Amino acid sequence: MDTCRVPANASKCSGNSMECFMVLSTQAQKISIGILCGLFGTMCVFENSLVLYLIFSSPGIRKKPSYLFIGSLALADILASIIFVCSFVNFHVFNEAGFSKEVFLLQLGGVNTSFSASLSSLLLTALDRYLSISRPSEYKLLMTRRRAWTALGVLWLTCATIACLPLLGWNCCVLDSSCSQLFPFVDDNYLSGWLCFVAVLLGCIIYSYAHVLRRARQHVAYMEKHQAQAGKQNSRMRMDVMLAKTLVMVLAVLVLCWSPVLVLMGYSVFSRLSDRLRKVFAFCSTLCLLNSMVNPIIYALRSKELSSSLRRVFSRFRRQLKASEESPEAESTHKSSVIET
């Protein structure tokens, strides 16, 4: 196995021992992490798979660029959940370290690509809402399906490229530089660059949503002055106000779930982390899964179109279930009537 520098506070380790990064010391901690990852991961895959099904099974919905961005968000969250849970639990709970540097960096690249694509999809959704509320008359001309697919292609390619840089050579083994205290083989400078990338994404998301919230507040003031007026304009403003409430939830969940992880990552670049803080980081990492689990509830299931599609799916399922329950009875009745005859 490659030899690299280990975290400065891991004096008990020698060489590039993967055990240096296995910070869960008790069985209770491992069980807790396993339960959290299993619960959040399972719910995340189920919810986001349902969102993808609702989007692509409805021709009217999947033609809209805004739902393509929500579909990209759902896909990114599914991949993030599967890759993160499998690699995280395998490493921290089962203490599996019998893989090469390339395999570990490939897993880490998959996790980073998925989470980065999730945040980037949130950014595209924010920009889409920004255009719809700031330039409503030109929205359909500006945001076409072709442009939406192009933006998604650039998004995923950029995220995958940035996430795979350690695998391509930007790691502390190849460069003989200082390794991260939180991730094996990861160069501190790369971690700093990735944090800057995520900070830019979050800053753009917050700026776009802040603009939408400001416009929605203006619409609330307008509606209070013109309550007697009715029509499409007021209906549109009510939709903007509802959107604003959704965005408040989005920002709150986003900040709560990502802040602890990003703060500890940034702190690790400039200062030594104690074993206790590294354990805290392991538990805080599951909050990113929680964010991926909550995303479909906030974005998708609060949409009237997707909610209506979900109700239709449940109604169709109930009818099929009812028909399957009644068919054996009908068949047995038919058989008994034949015998009597």
Which helix (H) or strand (E) segment holds residue 319: the answer is: helix 304-340
Would you state the structure tokens that stand for residue 243, as one six-digit string?
A: 């959107």
- Does the 24-227+244-306 domain belong in CATH 3.90.1150.10? no
- DSSP secondary structure, 188-230, as one string: HHHHHHHHHHHHHHHHHHHHHHHHHHHHHHHHHHHHHH-TT--
pLDDT of residue 233: 53
Stated pTM of the model: 0.83
pLDDT of residue 10: 41
Domain boundaries, the chain: 24-227+244-306
pLDDT of residue 1: 45
Please report how many Cα atoms fall inside a 13 Å half-sphere around the Cα of residue 244, on the Cβ side. Answer: 18
pLDDT of residue 35: 92
Averages of pLDDT over runs of 10 residues in the chain (341 residues) are: 48 54 85 91 92 86 86 92 90 79 90 92 86 81 90 94 92 85 89 92 86 73 60 54 69 87 91 88 90 83 77 82 67 47 40
